[in-house]
Amino acid sequence: MSHGLLWLPLLLVFVLLTALGWLERRRQRLFREWAEGSELAKLDSCGGARLVDGLLSWCSFEAGQLKQDDFFVIKQLELVELLSLGSGEAPLTEESQGACRLRLVGGGEQKDLPFADSERARRWIDELMSRSRCEL
């Protein structure tokens, strides 16, 4: 009887890991369907983003579905800044790593696109600026 009780926590951990894996697989499947046909796309712990026909839109995963957060028209893009995610308006230095956000400025508005990885965000800056020039 005592040996059986020792296996119970392992069984609970297995069930928990299986459920988390199923949720992650569902999140990735929903993102793949949402981002199908996009020119540029990303999925990380901060959410998903896609660029389709000059419109950059981003979403988050909530309650088993993707929720559209915001969008930005790329041809209005004038400036992209790399800022830290959690500390106000502090710009991110070249050596900084980790979570950050892209501040998209143009057309009289500014919007923030969160990223979990600063290296990927830096690559997106180059891509977005080159595509905004192509749109003009």
CATH class of residue range 2-135 = mainly beta
pTM for this prediction: 0.78
CB atoms within 10 A of CB 74: 23
For the chain, the domains span 2-135
Per-residue pLDDT of 68-98, as tens digits, reads: 898 999 888 888 888 877 766 666 666 667 7
Quote the radius of gyration of the chain (alpha carbons, Å).
Answer: 19
Q: Is 38 exposed, middle or buried (0-12, 13-18, 19+ CB in 10 A)?
A: middle
